[in-house]
Structure 1
Amino acid sequence: MTINSAFIGFGKSATRYHLPYVFQRRDTFRVKTIFDVTRRPALEAEREYQGIHFTDSLNDILLDESIRLVTLCTPPETHYNFARQCLEHGKNVIVEKPFTRTLAEAQALFALAAEKGLTVTPFQNRRFDSCFLAAKKVIDSGVLGKIVEFESHFDYFRPDAPDAPGDFTDGAFYGLGVHLIDQVVSLFGRPEFVHYDIRSVRNKNNPDDTFELQLYYGDIKAIVKCSHLVMQPYPKFIVNGENGSFIKLNIDQQETCLKAGIMPGSPHFGQESEFGLLKYQNQRGEIITEKVNAGTGDYGRVYDAVYATLVHRKPPYISQQDVMTTMEILHRAFEQPAPALIKLR
């Protein structure tokens, strides 16, 4: 079965992180319509977009009963209203991150989807980063024993920061922290406490560009960090357990390829030569050192999972509980000045 789909928004998010993967899945998805307020005929005329109906009328999507799935690739402040309209018109919805601006908006969308018998889900593509999947593989294997600390970085060296004022959803915490938090929640669930350090370092006129969160799960501490002033990068992941440690230096290479114009389906797309390093003590007391193949990530697995939900009635690839936990951690960061320690309700 092929699902007719549509996109609201035709910017970098859609053209880089969504459509190239959907086009690799023509046996399961057909992109029928794309809504864009600002039409761009030259881009629309490119070969890969032939056969798609472009429009500046949202009703061309909402009133088309053949369209079952709509992906929102628009600014965060528009997510709730667009998603609500789509659900009200019987469409399943994928929402780019962050899912919504507030907890109340997220709750309302899930309630409406349940009422309509539909699916609404965030686009958490970083669950399918090769580096994260390598760390998850090691944790799930149990060779490290009880995990005591998990650390994740998303760093750049971008010292220039021209004035770009905005609100809390425009900062690095909502934009990048949502990925790091979601990965931690997928591994460990709902934390008991969260410590926030969120700052605007390069330009005080702008929203935050630096953050560190410490999420506490009993004896486990998860640390997620982001900075735009890191010239010598940290390892992407560090995992320490009672029996050993795992380190993965480099991040998944899909984004690097996409930015270079190398698309999914191209030879060696997303592949990397750097292995994760696993060192642990086995039950006989022997010290074992292994290289862990990170494999190749695939953001298109979000669409595979949504297809399985819509066609085969599989559970959503991200549970509502996980979505709401991530949204609560994001939203409560700005209830008080940082640094701050909160207990989740």
Structure 2
Amino acid sequence: MCGTSAINSLVLPKEKMKDMDKIRTGLAAFGMSGQVFHAPFISTNPHFELTAVTERSKELSRAKYPQSRIVRSFDELIGMEELELVVVNTPDSSHYEYARRALEAGKHVIVEKPFTTTVEEGEELVALAAEKELTLSVYQNRRWDCDFLTVKEILAQGLLGRLVEFESTFPRYRNFIKPNTWKETGENGGGLTYNLGAHVIDQAVQLFGMPEAVFADIATLRTGGKVDDYFIIHLMKPARMPEVKITLKASYLMCENEPRFVLHGTEGSYVKYGLDPQEADLTKGVLPDTPHWGEEDESQWGILHTETDGNVVRKPYPTLPGNYAAFYENIYQHIRNGEVLQSDACGVLGVIRLIEAAWESSRTGNVIKL
């Protein structure tokens, strides 16, 4: 109360007030994740300030973000008193340790997916954040993919009748082993199931709720591969639609793409090829405040094919714009205005539980009941 009164007694310029309201944010790393998925959204959102970037030896961030301080270690980052928010976008195996240390330092935390490598680690972090009354979120940005938002709209409008089958496939083609990266050695995590699996599983849980059981096949198909590069996961009897048959799939050996989404219902189907354009645009250096951000070319729209009372309709269905920026805007609204946190770490624990169950199923060949 004293602090509030003191601030209210000052007559501050509007710009100064705006600066004080900004969430001062630090990145734990400036690799692909930092450069493509975080810095562009932090820097273009007026509610945030990219205050610090961790680069152990390089200064890659200097060119685009000269106003940001470069720090040389995670300890130095979390030791900055002015930081409110730390983004843990380091290798998978370090997520638990770095998130814990940032929370202990009194920072709000965003953790790149996968949240943690075990449910036990995730539960500990959720409890710590609650104890310290801090925000703990997981960067499940593909909840804001254009195709996923469109699938949600189609289901909400009941355009397919009663849904009976849902297939989600994330096709990639990399028929070589990328050298000198932790994602290929398995030493610090990596592997397709924790990587893309964390996204497609999260999307399915968002739509249908947690399943009663899991059956999975996880494999390494590339010559010389050291991490899993293929999975097919069946989620059985999801809480909100127990009758829906759910298949999730990804592979690094899909030279010819399979559909990204296939939905079949009692009154029709929806089939969608192609990937959300946001990642490709970000990789090219296009910023998220660019006009028409997240919009997909009409040639990529999915096909809605319905048949009701003898009336057949088969036509492209407009894809909604994707919007990863909504993730960071929600972080701001939650921290400053108390809005519901849309990607709360507590709600993402189920994804890690399902990944663990999928691995157990693949190892044993059994259906794993949750």
TM-score by length of 2: 0.86
1:126 is matched with which residue: 138, 142, 155?
142
Q: How does 1:199-278 map to 2 (within 5 A)?
A: 199-217=219-237, 218-273=242-297, 274-278=300-304
Q: Distance in 2 between matches of 1:93 and 1:256?
A: 26
Q: Are the counterparts in 1 of residues 62 and 68 from structure 2 also a CA contact under 8 Å?
A: no
Output the CA distance in 2 between the equivalents of 1:335 and 1:69: 35
Deviation at 1:162, TM superposition (A): 5.8
**Which residue of the other structure, out of 276, 300, 306, is the alignment partner of 1:280?**
306
CA contact (8 A) 2:218 2:359 kept: no
How far residue 139 of structure 1 moved from its aligned partner, in angstroms, is: 1.0
Contact persistence 2:295–2:320 (CA under 8 A): yes
Given the alignment, which residue of 318, 329, 334 partners 1:304?
Answer: 329
Q: Does structure 2 conserve the Cα–Cα contact (< 8 Å) formed by 1:197 and 1:339?
A: no
1:59 Cα offset (Å): 4.2
Distance 2:133 2:80 in 1: 18
Conservation of the 8 A alpha-carbon contact between 2:361 and 2:368: no
Distance 1:269 1:86 in 2: 32
Q: Kindly provide the amino acid, as one letter, of the partner of residue 58 in structure 2.
A: R
> Which residue of 154, 157, 160 corresponds with 2:173?
157
The answer to whether the aligner puts 1:340 opposite 2:349 as a matched pair is no
**Residue 17 (structure 1) shift:** 0.9
RMSD: 2.0
Is 1:316–2:341 an aligned residue pair? Answer: yes
Given the superposition, is the C-alpha separation of residues 64 and 165 from structure 1 closer, same or farther in structure 2, using an over 3 Å criterion? closer
Q: CA deviation at 1:267?
A: 4.7
**Distance change (3 Å), C-alpha of 1:336 and 1:137:** closer
Contact kept, 8 Å, 1:275 with 1:291, in 2: the verdict is yes
* Change beyond 3 A, Cα 1:167–1:181: farther
Q: Match for residue 87 of structure 2?
A: 71
Confirm whether residue 193 of structure 1 aligns to residue 193 of structure 2: no
SS class of match (2:264): strand
Which residue number in structure 2 is paired with residue 44 of structure 1?
A: 61
**2:199 is aligned with 1:170:** no
- What is the letter of the counterpart of residue 117 of structure 1? E
The 2-side partners of 1:168 and 1:213 are apart by 23
2:152 match: 136
Q: For 2:341 and 2:178, how far apart are their aligned partners in 1?
A: 40
Larger Rg: 2
Residue identity (%): 33
Cα distance in 1, alignment partners of residues 178 and 148 from structure 2: 32
Structure 2 segments unaligned to the other structure (5+ residues):
1-20
Gaps of 5+ in 1: none
Within 1, Cα distance between the matches of 2:57 and 2:185?
Answer: 26
CA shift for structure 1 position 104: 0.6
CA distance in 1, matches of 2:291, 2:218: 40
1:58 alignment partner AA: F
**Equivalent pair of 1:135/1:248 in contact (CA under 8 Å):** no
Q: Distance in 2 between matches of 1:66 and 1:58?
A: 15
How many pairs are equivalent? 340
Q: Distance in 1 between matches of 2:254 and 2:225?
A: 21
SS of structure 1 residue aligned to 2:290: coil
Regions of 4+ moved over 6 Å: none
Matched, 1:18 2:38: yes
